[in-house]
């Protein structure tokens, strides 16, 4: 079985040529897939019945993510989706919306690239689930298409995609890159490359590989510590990669793409939020040309606490005075476990979500995700 959403436009051209179809058939199919978001081959009514029948008999399908659960934050701006893939695998996606004066909201989809995650970051709910499997590119697309379908029903559309959901995107490299190419191809989803951000826990070899892909997607690296000792405690799979290695990798990525790299820094009460830690972080990053995104951690089963507002602002002030460009992440969706480090699909989380469902009104839209975002667990990677 092959999902048509897996095929890059040149591959669709090739398929139609193989089937003896005129070239415009590929454009017809691509237009339908990325503008009409059909849920089955039968819905491709612009194709002759004989071609639809041939595609089905050759094992082509239109995979779709089926929605198991939807929870929307009280302000209606963050929606967490529990989605089931064709084989029953459950993953979470998050839609984060940012109202814009006089126009449609910025609508960012936070996608998962793995079911679970093998990286084991100690503050992350996904990391506590363990690793289940990699997602295919078409399963990443299915998350975006699902939200696009939701948004279209109310006259809106997906404006940004962040690879910050469950899993480490660069540990699923080939499928992540295929998904990005499907999203940015003008004959595909057609999203601007600068509207996509990939978040990584810091796989240096993969960052260098990404820099050579001739893409201009944003890159966020989860740093979380100014020194190797603390980082090893928070990201046990960091291995021999030092914080200096990450700063060097960010520099190489910038030189190759001209895209400024963001370092994600999880602020954990009593662990990584002291003034002294801020000074050491400033010393590490001063002059690197990077940006730091400070993320006060969300409550997860890991038992870590969020620093007080005062400590967060103090940390930010020390970094700024130390010559480092930084911002504090605007919190979205924490009450529905859709914020950084809170995405997970196991039974414990389901129980929590069930309770949330009883108190969180579902928005009248239909229209996706991140237990994440600001999202995502990955955002706290």
Burial class (CB in 10 A: 0-12, 13-18, 19+), 141: buried
Tokens matching residue 182: 């499907």
The neighbour count for residue 312, using CB atoms within 10 Å, is 18
Three-class SS state of 98? strand
Q: Contacting ligand SF4 (CB under 6 A), which of 117, 170, 180, 326?
A: 117
By DSSP bridging, strand 114-116 and strand 131-134 are: antiparallel
Give the shortest CB-243-to-ligand SF4 separation in angstroms.
16
**Stretch touching ligand SF4 by CB under 6 A, among 2-10, 40-48, 79-87, 164-172:** 164-172
Q: Cα–Cα distance between 69 and 362 in angstroms, integer?
A: 10
- Looking at residue 360, the DSSP 8-state letter turns out to be S
Given 9, 167, 226, 367, the residue binding ligand SF4 (CB under 6 A): 167
Decide if residue 297 touches ligand SF4 (CB under 6 A).
Answer: no
Q: What is the dihedral of CA 267, 272, 275, 281, to 10 degrees?
A: -90
Which residues ranging from 186 to 205 are in contact with ligand SF4 (CB under 6 A)? 201
Q: How near is the Cβ of 236 to ligand SF4 at its closest, in Å? A: 10
* Nearest position to ligand SF4, beta carbon: 127
* 340 a catalytic residue: yes
CB nearer to ligand SF4: pick between 368 and 381: 381
User: Between 167 and 188, whose beta carbon lies closer to ligand SF4?
Assistant: 167
The smaller minimum CB distance to ligand SF4, of residues 120 and 299, is found at 120
Q: CA–CA separation, 121 vs 28, rounded Å?
A: 44
CA dist 163 to 18, 122, 326, 379, Å? 34, 20, 21, 9
| Angle in degrees, 0-180, between the axes of helices 24-31 and 9-18, rounded to the nearest 10 | 130
Is residue 121 near ligand SF4 by the rule CB under 6 A?
A: yes
- Give SS3 for 251: helix
Nearer to ligand SF4, 148 or 177 (CB): 177
**Segment near ligand SF4 (CB under 6 A); pick from 79-87, 122-130, 324-332, 351-359:** 122-130
Asked if 126 is part of the footprint of ligand SF4 (rule: CB under 6 A), the reply reads yes
What strand order describes the sheet that includes 196-200? 66-72, 78-84, 90-98, 106-110, 160-163, 196-200, 218-222, 262-267, 291-296, 325-328
Is 119 an interacting residue with respect to ligand SF4 (CB under 6 A)?
yes
Cα–Cα nearest to 79, from 313, 283, 378, 360: 360
Complex with ligand SF4: residue 33 or 198, whichever CB lies closer = 198
Q: How many of the chain's residues bind ligand SF4 (CB under 6 A)?
A: 15
117 carries an active-site annotation? no
Q: Which of 331, 340, 354, 356 is catalytic?
A: 340
* Segment lying near ligand SF4 (by CB under 6 A), choices 12-20, 103-111, 117-125, 177-185: 117-125
Residue 6 engages ligand SF4 in binding (rule: CB under 6 A): no
Q: Does 381 bind ligand SF4 (CB under 6 A)?
A: yes
Nearest distance in Å: CB 302, ligand SF4:
10
C-alpha dihedral over 68, 353, 161, 200, to 10 degrees?
-120
124 binds ligand SF4 (CB under 6 A): yes
- Would you name the residues annotated as active-site residues? 92, 340
Residues lying near ligand SF4 in the complex (CB under 6 A): 117, 119-121, 124, 126-127, 166-168, 201, 377-378, 380-381
């Amino acid at each position: 079985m092959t999902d048509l959403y897996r095929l890059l436009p040149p591959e669709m051209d090739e398929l139609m040529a193989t089937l003896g179809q005129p070239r415009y058939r590929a454009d017809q199919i691509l237009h339908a897939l990325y503008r009409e978001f059909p849920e089955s081959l039968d819905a491709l009514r612009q194709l002759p019945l004989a071609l639809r029948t041939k595609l089905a008999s050759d094992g082509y399908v239109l995979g779709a993510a089926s929605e198991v659960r939807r929870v929307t934050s009280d302000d209606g701006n963050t929606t967490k989706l529990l989605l089931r893939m064709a084989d029953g695998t459950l993953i979470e996606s998050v839609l984060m919306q940012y109202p814009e004066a006089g126009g449609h909201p910025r609508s960012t989809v936070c996608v998962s690239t793995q079911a679970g995650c093998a990286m084991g970051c100690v503050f992350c709910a996904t990391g506590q689930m363990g690793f289940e499997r990699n997602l295919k590119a078409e399963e990443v697309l299915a998350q975006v298409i699902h939200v696009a379908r939701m948004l279209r029903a109310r006259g809106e559309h997906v404006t940004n995609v962040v690879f910050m959901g469950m899993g480490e995107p660069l540990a699923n490299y080939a499928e992540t890159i295929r998904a990005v190419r499907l999203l940015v191809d003008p004959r595909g989803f057609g999203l601007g490359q600068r509207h996509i951000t990939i978040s990584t826990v810091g796989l240096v070899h993969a960052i260098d590989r990404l820099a050579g892909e001739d893409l201009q997607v944003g890159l966020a690296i989860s740093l979380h510590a100014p020194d190797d000792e603390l980082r090893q405690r928070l990201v046990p799979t960091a291995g021999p990669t030092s914080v200096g290695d990450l700063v060097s990798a960010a520099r190489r990525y910038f030189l190759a793409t001209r895209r400024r790299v963001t370092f994600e820094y999880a602020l954990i009460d009593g662990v990584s939020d002291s003034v002294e830690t801020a000074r050491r972080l400033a010393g590490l990053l001063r002059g690197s040309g990077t940006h730091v995104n400070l993320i006060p951690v969300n409550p997860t089963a890991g038992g870590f606490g969020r620093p007080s507002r005062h400590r967060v602002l103090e940390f930010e002030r020390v970094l700024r005075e130390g010559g480092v460009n930084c911002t504090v992440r605007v919190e979205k969706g924490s009450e529905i476990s859709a914020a950084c480090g809170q995405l997970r699909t196991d039974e414990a989380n389901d129980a929590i979500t069930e309770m949330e469902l009883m108190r969180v009104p579902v928005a009248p839209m239909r229209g996706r995700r991140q237990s994440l975002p600001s999202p995502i667990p990955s955002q706290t990677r």
